[in-house]
Amino acid sequence: MYEAFYDLQKTPFTRTMPTEQLFMTPDLSEFYERLRYVSERHLFAVLTGDCGTGKTTLLRKLKDSLDPNHFKVLYVSDSKLTPRNFYRLLLDQLGVVAKFTRGDTKRQLHEQVAVMRAVDGMDTICVCDESHLLSFEMLEEIRFLLNMQFDSVSPLSLILSGQNELWKKLQLQKCTAIRQRIDVQCMLGHYDRAQTESYIKHQMAYAGADNDIFTEAAINLIHEFSAGTARVIDKVCTNLLIYGSQNKKRLIDDHAVRAILEGEFT
């Protein structure tokens, strides 16, 4: 739609951007390296951040960067998980038909992870997204993944990802045991003004824009409204590009931003 008007070869501000071309701030790059370390050393990490700050995108980049011949990534995102369904979901991703009882499925998972590591040389990484929505029972159950062989080295890597409420929940006394097992903590923040501008320009350059389309004044308002949240920036900029193409605006200025914010985001 607007791509032709602005002579773009690709669509910016979407989730389809290849992970190797994602915009990475110094903090994001550091957290990515930490998660790589966790994946390679069978450790336990907690990744938190406000809604829309890029947690799932960072996890996608991590998965894409790992050698599929050496790493098996198991991904779970379900706020209503029960222990039995948790193990069934993981076994399904491993191609194993789960037995009926919770105890049996847990043993199946333990055995499958051990066989994959010993026979196939495959390391398993369990990623639990939206973990701030999990019950205390499920958080405790997930911790048991690290205790497959008494108190020896964990046979897999575990990453809990969720909004900031997850870390607040883990600070409670009833979560002391799981909190003490955490090896790496990553807390995503929001973009500052300079990073918001760099993010927008990065997206447009990826799409093939030869010149700046968003003015400095427009970026100021976008940053102020979005508070540096990538997901909100994406939505606002997409609406602005549609508006700009419909109104034949080669430059998107602060007047256009005000019009969109008043018309679409109020």
| 58 Cβ neighbours under 8 A, 6+ residues apart | 28, 31, 32, 35, 47, 188
- Give per-residue pLDDT as tens, 117-143: 888 889 999 999 999 999 988 888 888
pLDDT value of position 128:
93
Count how many domains the chain has. Answer: 2
Q: Are residues 162 and 220 part of one domain?
A: no
Q: Give kind and range of the element (H or E) at residue 157.
A: strand 156-162
Please report whether residue 169 resides in a domain.
yes
Q: Is-contact 208 8, C-beta < 8 A?
A: yes
Distance of CA 205 to the CA centre of its chain: 23
CATH number assigned to the domain comprising residue 77: 3.40.50.300
Give the CATH number for residue 252: 1.10.8
Is the domain of 216 the same as that of 95?
no
pLDDT band at residue 152 under the 50/70/90 scheme: low
CB 28 within 8 Å of CB 17: no
Within a domain: 37? yes
Same-domain check for residues 117 and 142: yes
> What's the predicted TM-score (pTM) here?
0.91
**Structural domain contains residue 15:** no
Q: What is the mean pLDDT of the chain?
A: 91
Q: Are 95 and 112 in contact (CB under 8 A)?
A: no
Same domain, 74 and 144: yes
State the residue range of the domain holding 115. Answer: 26-188
- My answer on whether 163 and 196 are in the same domain is no
**pLDDT of the residue at 148:** 59
Q: 134 and 237 share a domain?
A: no
